Structure 1
């Protein structure tokens, strides 16, 4: 089984590396909201968040999982930092009704598909290894097959997930680790250390940040602390490494100029040179409920087409838990249940489909079929009639949507003509104006007049050689004209300019185009 499938299927592990604290008192969540970095108001009861406690200078005291319960909350803290964190938080409790006590219970972790069966009152939904997960508060660990330490370390390398003294270390800024993505809200209001870390985040971000490098050389071992040289300067410091599916991945605190997804370069270490490719961590994509639901659904369809229907159902049930309004998933569940002659259950899922998409024709069509199989002829005919009505309603909606799209296109063209007139007026005054030339190039690109766009972009870059988006648009225009040689040269220069300026969106876009050329 490939590692990406392993992580998606998930597993269980013991929380022996953590201490567990119970937080009680009516003011507990409000108090912790002001002391920790993540936004506790963004979650509900029986949910949790990765969180951190910072010093006044923005350095990490500890990371933790904070779980919000009905009658009490929980903190799950690395053993190395638990005493310091508890003491630090208690110092500021004066008039607040908050008490932090050590719990004798244990924290049991589940993630991936294995986590979706967990629905007890002591189960808390969290993000674990950038997959859906659950932390269960238990008196004793369940009789499960738990992942070993080596496997957990491998997952931590591939995801850059916080592990104390490995991917997160004492006296680092939160900006220097993936805690900056996973455990902080810059919009929630004040917390200790906010001013410093917000300044770093709003400028160019961390100089060095956890990023994966893929090496083609076999049997090359890198260990934590190794310094890698890139382009005659310190390129990064190794955090950890692992071999996956025949490839060597190294998690590196990589310098910002080289953090361009899929960028390729040479790395020097101990007087040897190695070819490396950049991958953002996590290797298999960050956790996003909607994106994960889409992935589960697509994988389920693939399994369904290969007649692996039971495994497909497992993914589909997970899909609708993550995204309860995912209409297509309800339909496919109902179809699979019908194929296995579970007609009543199939009808239930068609009703769930109608609850999220009342215009669904297939919901009524399938209900009609299943009711017929159950011998309920009159009800089946009624559903068949409703399917016909919904078909005509849908045709009407599609026609209305086409008219709306045509109206929108007309409005867009009118807006483009207005902008074109404005840019031309500017160019009459100053033919070398950067913004006006770029604006005209953008309009010509939209109209597929690539030669005219290139003329304006040449002016843009002659006037401002640091204009990242100018390189990006010029590269796209040149590729459209078939001039791949010049396009490659422009894009390579553009990636360097954009990465040094911290313009990562155009940098990544240009690198993607370069990869397609190569």
Structure 2
């Protein structure tokens, strides 16, 4: 493995290939007993009863005022046991708070008999590396999934966990296996561009990803909704827990005065930690973690910002401490990662470009191998690679490739079609005919299924139209009594939008945004309607107002949607 000493190179490895680092500041804890999940359900903010074995979720503990006591993830490793993954500085508080209301329930907490070494694999090639380490495909696919893995002769716990914004895993192992595992990672990981990642690069990656550290970016002085964790760590549909009333009330009726978001900072100077942000001597925020972002090429900060200034992309002239700064507000995370399929498609297009320009096939073949390693179900990559291998007369390898795709996705017609072609080129007529027949059978099955889906959709569309007509009539009756009723106007407008009656949708949606200026969903629906009517400038203005309203209220989902749509409009005009 190449030794990396430059922070920017370490950062690049995690963003583009793969890196590893020890999590000396993290730990595991465990809970077991017949009442494990029913008890945790009453104590924590998220819905642990919804977990299946092998899955997990982000979670938290709060006090009666919704102040954040602990932030962690829970992973269901059996029907009666769970593992907690968290920072070490929260472990004692987690156990103490869970024990505080533990009386007769059958649940035992344990911090000793758990693996004591945690190691993170992070980066787009970490899934392929983990499979190479274990020698088999694994089921760690969704965030917070948990699975016992075997590496060499040693069992380790694997958690699907991104700490950097990229795909990644945390491995929990006995300390006696640490050096051996690191050596194996470096040996097996060389083809995947593995690199050891230092503390500085790890911190940059963390902040770019908007990941918080307890005691630095959040603590028990913050109510949970201030931190943004409510979007991942809170269920609004489960039963009672300590702090639920405050969290639910904030979601329904407003947003916290200050909440976490990002700042992009002009200039070379980083503001000091915990410094107060002011505009004209009025406090509008507090700085938390700061760093230079290699992804953005600028200084960035996590900061708690007052709700009047939480609209993204606001350029502000502020004082931080006693120094003047120019900053721009930003949604978290700062770094938007690409999916496996997006990365594979980029490599695929790059390979095709080389293929068209050059006779040497080694470069495009290498790129395509990388693409299907990133996304094992990326069928276009298999097809292109098979074609190139066949051009090199490497038919056995091309056949093995198509067989692999057929195993991964038995319904992939192209795999069987290409197998038929390659067998024919080898003179294996009988095998070619069998694969041709398989491709034809799959095609027929797909046509039958598509026909069934179309019939069901037609039936459902008819039922939907009847229901929509009923709702339109009901909403109109309400509006005869109260012309500015929020629910009736919004409901009527969205039905007209969904049924492509855009002109009719305008009036009720405009009524909502004029009379209920904090109703962010109405701004989004009105903006979409104006876009459909090709009124781009008007839509952009509606989105700007809606973004401001959503930022004040903390409505993150419509805010992100409106920001994305506004950006698309602005880019199309430039």
TM-score if structure 1 supplies the norm length? 0.77
Distance 1:211 1:347 in 2: 47
CA contact (8 A) 1:161 1:178 kept: no
Residue 380 of structure 1 pairs with residue 432 of structure 2:
yes
1:122 is displaced (CA, Å) by 0.9
Alignment pair present for 1:272 and 2:324: yes
1:14: Cα distance to partner? 1.0
Q: What's 2:297 paired with?
A: 246
C-alpha displacement of 1:161:
1.5
Match of 1:284 in 2: 336
1:301 is aligned to 348
Shift of residue 150, structure 1, vs aligned partner = 0.8
Out of 157, 179, 187, the residue aligned to residue 123 of structure 1 is 157
The Cα of 1:346 is off from its aligned counterpart by: 2.3
Q: 1:323 maps to which residue?
A: none
Aligned Cα root-mean-square deviation (Å):
4.3
When residues 372 and 439 of structure 1 are mapped into structure 2, their CA distance, relative to the original with a 3 A threshold, is same
TM-score normalised by length of structure 2: 0.70
**Partners of 1:124 and 1:135 within 8 A in 2:** yes
Cα deviations across residues 482-511 of structure 1 (Å, max 9, x unaligned)?
666655555444444444445555544444
Which blocks of at least 5 consecutive residues in structure 2 are unaligned? 1-7, 135-149, 187-194, 354-362
**Aligned match of 2:24:** 16
Once residues 301 and 343 of structure 1 are traced to their aligned partners in structure 2, the CA distance between those partners, rounded to angstroms, is: 17
Describe how 1:300-449 pairs up with structure 2 within 5 A: 301-302=348-349, 304-305=351-352, 307-310=363-366, 312-314=368-370, 316-320=372-376, 328-329=377-378, 332-333=381-382, 336=385, 339-340=388-389, 341=394, 342-343=397-398, 345-355=400-410, 357=411, 360-372=412-424, 375-395=427-447, 397-398=449-450
Which residue in the other structure is 2:264 paired with? 214
Give the Cα separation in 2 of the matches to 1:40 and 1:225: 34
1:324 alignment partner in structure 2? none
Residues in 1 aligned to 2:109 and 2:477: alpha-carbon distance in whole angstroms: 67
The one-character-per-residue Cα deviations of 1:184-229 (angstroms, maximum 9, x if unpaired) are 44545455544444444454354333222223x2213222212223
- The answer to whether the Cα contact below 8 Å between 1:76 and 1:107 also exists between their aligned partners in 2 is no
Contact kept? 2:261, 2:305, Cα under 8 Å: yes
Quickly say closer, same or farther: Cα 1:295–1:256, change in 2 above 3 A: farther
Per-residue deviation, 1:276: 0.9
Displacement, 1:98? Answer: 2.4
Q: What do the CA deviations read for 1:58-102 (whole angstroms, capped 9, x no partner)?
A: 433333455555698654553434344444445536563625242
Does the CA contact (< 8 Å) of 1:47 and 1:126 recur in 2?
A: no
Q: Report the 3-state secondary structure (helix = DSSP H, G, I; strand = E; otherwise coil) of the residue aligned with 1:128.
A: coil
Change (3 A) 1:187 1:13: farther
Name the counterpart of 1:135: 171
Aligned residue in 2 for 1:100: 110
Query: What is the alpha-carbon distance in structure 2 between the residues aligned to residue 35 and residue 90 of structure 1?
Result: 10
Residue 222 (structure 2) pairs with residue 172 (structure 1): yes
- Partner secondary structure for residue 421 of structure 2: helix
Alpha carbons of structure 1 residues 252 and 43: separation in structure 2 relative to 1, 3 Å: same
Q: What SS class does the counterpart of residue 228 from structure 1 fall into?
A: strand
Q: Cα distance, 1:146 vs. partner?
A: 2.9
Q: 1:469 to 1:350 in 2, by over 3 A?
A: closer
> Is the contact made by 2:13 and 2:19 (CA closer than 8 Å) also made in structure 1?
no
Please list the CA deviations of residues 7-62 of structure 1 after superposition, one character each: whole Å capped at 9, or x if unmatched: 36342111222355565667666655655545555556666555444445543333
1:137 Cα deviation from its structure 2 partner = 1.3
SS of residue paired to 2:196: coil
Secondary structure at the counterpart of residue 238 of structure 1: strand
Q: What is the SS of the residue equivalent to 1:175? A: helix
Specify whether residues 337 and 473 from structure 1 end up closer, same or farther in structure 2 by C-alpha distance, changes over 3 A only.
closer
| SS of equivalent to 2:203 | helix
Q: How many residues align?
A: 501
